[in-house]
Amino acid sequence: MDSASIYYLGVTLFLFIVFAAIVARTYRKAHRAKGEEPKFRMMDDDQPKKHDHPET
Amino acid sequence: MNQQDGYADDIVKGFIIWSMVWGLVAVLVGVFISFQIAFPQLNFPPYLTYGRLRPIHTNAGIFGWGIGSFMAFFIYITQRLTRTSLWSPALAKAQLWLFNVVIALAAVTLAMGMNRSKEYAELEWPVASLVVVLWVIFAVNIVMTIVKRREEQMYISLWYILATLVGVAVLYLVNNASIPVSLTKSYSAYAGANDANVQWWYGHNAVAMVLTTPPLAIFYYFLPKATGVPIYSHRMGVVAFWSLIFMYLWTGAHHLLWAPVPDWVQTLAMGFSVMLIAPSWAAVFNGYFSMNGQWHQMRENYLVKFLIFGITFYGMQTLQGPSQSIRTFSAFIHFTDWVPGHVHMGTLGWVSLVLFAAIYYTVPRLYHTEVYSIPMANMHFWLVLTGQLIFSITMWIAGVQQAAMLNATNPDGSLHYSFIETMAELYPYWYMRAAGGVIYLAGLLLFLYNIYKTITVGKAQAAVQPA
Ligand code: HEM
Q: Report the pLDDT value the prediction gives residue A55, as an integer from 0 to 100.
A: 44
pLDDT above 70 (res B353): yes
ipTM of the complex: 0.89
Mean pLDDT of B280-307: 97
Which A residues, 26 through 45, put their C-beta within 8 Å of a C-beta on chain B?
26-27, 31-32, 34-43, 45
Mean pLDDT of B120-138: 97
Q: Report the pLDDT value the prediction gives residue B3, as an integer from 0 to 100.
A: 42
Report which DSSP code applies to B252. Answer: G
Q: Report the pLDDT value the prediction gives residue B152, as an integer from 0 to 100.
A: 78
User: Using one digit for the tens of pLDDT, what is the confidence trace for A5-37?
Assistant: 888 889 889 988 998 999 999 999 888 888 999
Label residue B451 by pLDDT band (50, 70, 90). Answer: very high
User: Is the CA virtual torsion B450, B451, B452, B454 positive or negative?
Assistant: positive
Q: Where are the domains of chain A?
A: 1-34
Mean pLDDT of chain B: 96
Share of chain B above pLDDT 70, in %: 99
pLDDT above 80 (res B383): yes
Which residues have C-beta within 8 Å of that of residue B414, sequence separation ≥ 6? none
B contact test, residue of A17, A34, A42 with most B CBs within 10 A? A42
Rg (C-alpha) for chain A, rounded Å, is 20
Mean pLDDT of B425-453: 98
CA of B204 to the centre of ligand 1 (A): 7
Q: Across the interface, do B148 and A32 touch by the CB < 8 Å criterion?
A: no
Report which DSSP code applies to B250. Answer: T
Whole-angstrom Cα distance, residue B99 to residue B151? 30
Architecture of domain B1-189: Up-down Bundle (1.20)
Q: Is the minimum CB–CB distance between B296 and chain A shorter than 8 Å?
A: no
CA of B254 to the centre of ligand 1 (A): 9
Q: Report the pLDDT value the prediction gives residue B174, as an integer from 0 to 100.
A: 97
Q: Report the pLDDT value the prediction gives residue A54, as an integer from 0 to 100.
A: 47
Least confident stretch, B17-31, B62-76, B235-249 = B235-249
Mean pLDDT of B138-165: 94
CB B290 within 8 A of CB B232: yes
Q: How many CB pairs under 8 A join A and B?
A: 92
Q: Report the pLDDT value the prediction gives residue A9, as an integer from 0 to 100.
A: 85
Task: Please give, rounded to a whole number of angstroms, the shortest distance from the CA of B32 to a CA of chain A.
Answer: 42
Higher pLDDT, B51 or A30: B51
User: Using one digit for the tens of pLDDT, what is the confidence trace for B297-330?
Assistant: 999 999 999 999 999 999 999 999 999 999 999 9
First to last CA, chain B: 16
